[in-house]
Structure 1
Amino acid sequence: MQKQVNKRMKKIKLGEFFSGPGGIAYGAHLAAKKTQLFELEHAWAVDNHASTCETYIRNIKGASPDSVFCEDIKTFNFQNLNNIASNIDGFAFGFPCNDFSLVGQQKGMHGQFGPLYTYGIKALKQFQPSFFIAENVGGITSANNGDAIAKILHELEAAGYSITPHLYKFEEYGVPQARHRLIIVGIKKSLDLIFRVPTPTHKNKFKSVADALEARPIASNAYNHDKTIQSPVVVERLKHILPGQNAWNASLPKHLKLNVKGAKLSQIYKRLEADKPSYTITGSGGGGTHVYHWREPRALTNRERARLQTFPDSFEFMGSKESVRRQIGMAVPPLGAKVIFEAVVKTLLGIPYSSIDAPSLHGKGR
């Protein structure tokens, strides 16, 4: 039986690094609304992408140009955070995944982005919040032969936290997308509490893309819902690709085949399957990577991608069409963040919840 920390928890003040458009923060607000156990208070957020910061400010309650810093974390002055909130209860950081993604070169700690997690460690040591939530791609567990994740976990523990890393398959929690992400939850050791992975709610009853996109039709004037004008050759190619197929395994006429050598990504011109979750929504990539409708010969709109990421239609992304695509693909699904925040708060309050025994990642690669 875990001890209760605070039966009357009223507010959780949240700080964020690499905050993106606000998927984690919005999910935390959803958790607060559902559980009625706490009120989320935005403290500050840092991200280095201008349109992304504008999106965060527009949609996250309490956020303002004074509390959202659009700066490079490598040159950011931490004193700016002290001037706003000298203490926070929770800290979230989805440190950049570029060097850990299986799609990229997987440079891990040797890349430009790999070491950026250390700024999260610095924030933990400075602010000592009661808990943190860190997020990255599943590929981080194999980067640098497993040494990268071992080093990160060791440093998070050394900062004073009991940690529970787990590879979440978000389609098992009601997200209509096969999105697999490593989430590390840490609880301050002095609280003598252990976070447990919440039990999947949709393991045998996935939400499909048709559930997400058609059960409640998107209004024609919804935010970020402009359709891409497909070229005639792309339309013709898509008409030969069946749901679930891509440009490599479909039966394409010779003039529609792609002249590509080397690695052939399975998502190139891959069409969705109406009765299954989407494949992973990405934030970048050239032709053929925009996620394709199962019935209509076209790429999804940004609003449809946002639906598959569980952002509500009222959530307005700012910036150019390609910038919005980037923001959506890089974000944490709010519904996934909601599930994790619910479990974190119940852990802090000593409230039981359904959980599973997660495989340990401690010591991986060593």
Structure 2
Amino acid sequence: MCYKFVDLFAGIGGFRLGFEKVGFQCVFSSEIDNHAREMYQLNFGDLPFGDIKKIELESIPHFDILLAGFPCQPFSIAGEKKGFNDIRGTLFFDIAKILEYHRPKVIVLENVKHFKSHDKGRTLKIVLTTLNDLGYTINWALLNGKDFGVPQNRERTIIIGYLGQKEFNFDYLKQQKCNKLADILEKDSPDFEYLKEEEYTLIENPKKQLSGLIFAGYRNKNIRLKGTKPNTKHLSRVHKQPNRIYSSEGNHPTLSSQESAGRYYILHNGRVRKLTLRECYRLMGFPDDFKLIGSKAKLYNRIGNSVVVPMIEAIAQQVKGQFFETNYLNKNQFKPKQISLFDSELIYH
């Protein structure tokens, strides 16, 4: 049986790639950004619906799974009410309306690492409460892209719900060996942009951090004087992420949706250069035949806003097994950080 999903806040289709690899079928998508919609159509043959707020609920075909990498917004009510009263006016309200109308069996939501502390924890708590009120049993965890084969330290909040009394078990997710950054780099490209030796400073004996990052040096940009603490002026250029240089023998830090200039610098084979666009897409697990169109600035924004495809594929595999197959067991397990709804950090202040 082919189970169907809708792809909301679809971006360029990272969720769709992961779920289609497992055999699920997309029957509807929605994305408001026009450039993302163009890329989505080019790669999948479907033009996503635009503004989610304008979707007529009855126009969405039947589906089994709702996928959404939705933006986080603060909620305006004090948090003492429940359900729609707490989420009205937010983009999550539109997701909840679709859930209430269509009652899909499964929901998978994705957001940034710090979603749990957004608006002092109120945002997450109200989201979970609303989903519970709609009849979904919820579990959630912080997952990292580097645990799914890509050399990028990218932590994300994943929320998974089931319509009924069955809880998703994150322990069954299959872990993949993390490659080092050098393993996914292009061998040669006309797009390589090297820095001159006088434009950067390398540090001696760089050490690998627990995250897998190897900070190797920094660009010789002007030292920022305003707002720096005493005796830290020499560090000001190092603290700015676009000035940092990382060794290709380790992982790469999180690609940012705000970095439209693609200022990701690496030390590889004794030279310092920027990552190419194709390398950035590889860092998110996108295949090389994924088509890129538009300006570089937009393409960097799109990939920084996307999801790690192998991580989504692993989630899709477990969604299929745990919720749609009987007697399913995956022996390859690891334990991501699962956090209770009643975690002390989520208490309102």
Same fold (TM over 0.5): yes
**Tell me, what secondary structure is at the counterpart of 2:110?**
strand
- Does the CA contact (< 8 Å) of 2:11 and 2:306 recur in 1? yes
Q: Does 1:293 align with 2:266?
A: yes
CA RMSD of aligned residues (A): 2.6
Q: CA deviation at 1:356?
A: 5.4
- Distance (whole Å) between structure 2 residues aligned to residue 48 and residue 307 of structure 1: 24
- Distance (whole Å) between structure 2 residues aligned to residue 286 and residue 43 of structure 1: 31
Corresponding letter in the other structure for 1:284: Q
- Does the CA contact (< 8 Å) of 2:104 and 2:163 recur in 1? yes
Q: CA deviation at 1:187?
A: 1.0
- Does the CA contact (< 8 Å) of 2:173 and 2:318 recur in 1? no
- Does the CA contact (< 8 Å) of 1:235 and 1:298 recur in 2? no
- 2:215 maps to 244
Q: Does 1:209 align with 2:184?
A: no
**Tell me, what secondary structure is at the counterpart of 2:111?**
strand
- 1:146 maps to 121
Deviation sequence 1:203-244 (CA, Å, 0-9, x none)? 8x4321112225xx47x4xxxxx73767xxx64565324561
- Does the CA contact (< 8 Å) of 1:198 and 1:339 recur in 2? no
Unaligned runs of 5+ in 1: 1-9, 33-38, 100-107, 221-225
- Does the CA contact (< 8 Å) of 1:21 and 1:327 recur in 2? yes
Q: Does 1:332 align with 2:301?
A: no
Deviation sequence 1:179-200 (CA, Å, 0-9, x none)? 00000011111xx322100446
- 1:276 maps to 250
- Distance (whole Å) between structure 2 residues aligned to residue 48 and residue 270 of structure 1: 33
- 1:120 maps to 95
Matches within 5 A, 1:160-175: 160-175=135-150
**Relative contact order (alpha carbons < 8 A, sep ≥ 6): 1 or 2 greater?**
1
- Sort the Cα spacing of 1:78 and 1:235 in 2 relative to 1 into closer, same or farther, 3 A: farther
- Distance (whole Å) between structure 1 residues aligned to residue 134 and residue 339 of structure 2: 19
**Tell me, what secondary structure is at the counterpart of 1:16?**
strand
TM-score, length basis structure 1 = 0.76
- Distance (whole Å) between structure 1 residues aligned to residue 98 and residue 217 of structure 2: 43
- Distance (whole Å) between structure 2 residues aligned to residue 315 and residue 260 of structure 1: 43
- Does the CA contact (< 8 Å) of 1:173 and 1:336 recur in 2? yes
Corresponding letter in the other structure for 1:11: C
1:53 to 37, 46, 56: 37
1:315 to 276, 282, 290: 290
- Distance (whole Å) between structure 2 residues aligned to residue 262 and residue 115 of structure 1: 35
- Does the CA contact (< 8 Å) of 2:260 and 2:301 recur in 1? no
Q: CA deviation at 1:42?
A: 1.4
**Tell me, what secondary structure is at the counterpart of 1:175?**
coil
TM-score, length basis structure 2 = 0.79
Corresponding letter in the other structure for 2:30: V
Q: CA deviation at 1:360?
A: 2.9
Q: Percent identity?
A: 25
- Distance (whole Å) between structure 2 residues aligned to residue 258 and residue 47 of structure 1: 41
- Does the CA contact (< 8 Å) of 1:167 and 1:181 recur in 2? yes
Matches within 5 A, 1:124-135: 124-135=99-110
- Does the CA contact (< 8 Å) of 2:259 and 2:304 recur in 1? no
- 2:18 maps to 27
- 1:78 maps to 56
1:95 to 47, 67, 70: 70
Q: CA deviation at 1:51?
A: 1.3
- Distance (whole Å) between structure 2 residues aligned to residue 299 and residue 116 of structure 1: 35
**Tell me, what secondary structure is at the counterpart of 2:342?**
coil
- Distance (whole Å) between structure 2 residues aligned to residue 319 and residue 126 of structure 1: 37
- Distance (whole Å) between structure 1 residues aligned to residue 111 and residue 160 of structure 2: 12
- Does the CA contact (< 8 Å) of 1:198 and 1:340 recur in 2? no
Q: CA deviation at 1:40?
A: 2.0
**Structure with more strand by fraction:** 2
- Sort the Cα spacing of 1:188 and 1:206 in 2 relative to 1 into closer, same or farther, 3 A: same
- Does the CA contact (< 8 Å) of 1:172 and 1:200 recur in 2? no
- Sort the Cα spacing of 1:320 and 1:144 in 2 relative to 1 into closer, same or farther, 3 A: same
Corresponding letter in the other structure for 2:246: L
- 1:6 maps to none
- Distance (whole Å) between structure 2 residues aligned to residue 322 and residue 275 of structure 1: 27
Q: CA deviation at 1:272?
A: 2.3
Q: CA deviation at 1:301?
A: 1.4
Deviation sequence 1:38-96 (CA, Å, 0-9, x none)? x3221111111111111112223xx423xx11x2333x1324xx3351x1111101012
Q: CA deviation at 1:26?
A: 0.1
- Sort the Cα spacing of 1:261 and 1:126 in 2 relative to 1 into closer, same or farther, 3 A: farther
- Distance (whole Å) between structure 1 residues aligned to residue 55 and residue 33 of structure 2: 17
- Sort the Cα spacing of 1:359 and 1:77 in 2 relative to 1 into closer, same or farther, 3 A: closer
Deviation sequence 1:325-354 (CA, Å, 0-9, x none)? 111110011111000000000002131124
- Sort the Cα spacing of 1:262 and 1:27 in 2 relative to 1 into closer, same or farther, 3 A: farther
